[in-house]
Every structure is written in structure tokens, then in C-alpha cells.
Amino acid sequence: MGEAADYLNIGSTAFSNLVNRGELKFTSLRPDSKTGKKFFMVSDLRDWLESNKTRSIKEIKDAANG
């Protein structure tokens, strides 16, 4: 989980909250256990980043100006 949190550039608590809310896909060898090791696919993390991307001020101004 630490590597995945680093990849997303967020803290471990925020990352755990995303996992607990079901916002991030993962695979677990022990799915019935909350403490089981979780594995995250880079493609899923990348998809999450893309869908939760915020626009820069320049992007907002460019969109407004057409």
C-alpha cells in the first residue's frame, strides 16, 4: 500500500480512506480479511489519477477563452 500511495503522491491515511471507501481497485490474497495484503495494478492507479485530475488555472482560462 505504501508504494501505491507514493505513486499517487498522497499520504497513507488518505490512501487507506480511498481503499476503505472502495474508490481504488485492488486484489487480495485473503479477501475475507481486512488486514490481508492488498495488491494494486498501476493501470488502475493511473485510471484513478486521470478520473480525479484537477485542472490548472491555465487550463481553466484556456477553456473559457475557447
Inside any domain, residue 63:
no
Say which residues have a Cβ less than 8 Å from residue 28's Cβ, sequence separation at least 6. 36, 37, 38, 39
In a domain, 64, yes or no: no
User: Residue 61 domain-assigned?
Assistant: no
Q: Please give the model's pTM, rounded to 2 decimal places.
A: 0.74
21 vs 28: CA distance, rounded Å: 16
Domain housing 50: 2-56
Q: If you search the block for the grid coordinates 499517487, which residue do you land on?
A: 8
How far is the C-alpha of 9 from the C-alpha of 53, rounded, in Å? Answer: 13
Write out the chain's pLDDT in tens, 66 residues: 999 999 999 999 999 999 999 999 999 988 888 788 899 999 999 999 999 888 888 888 888 987
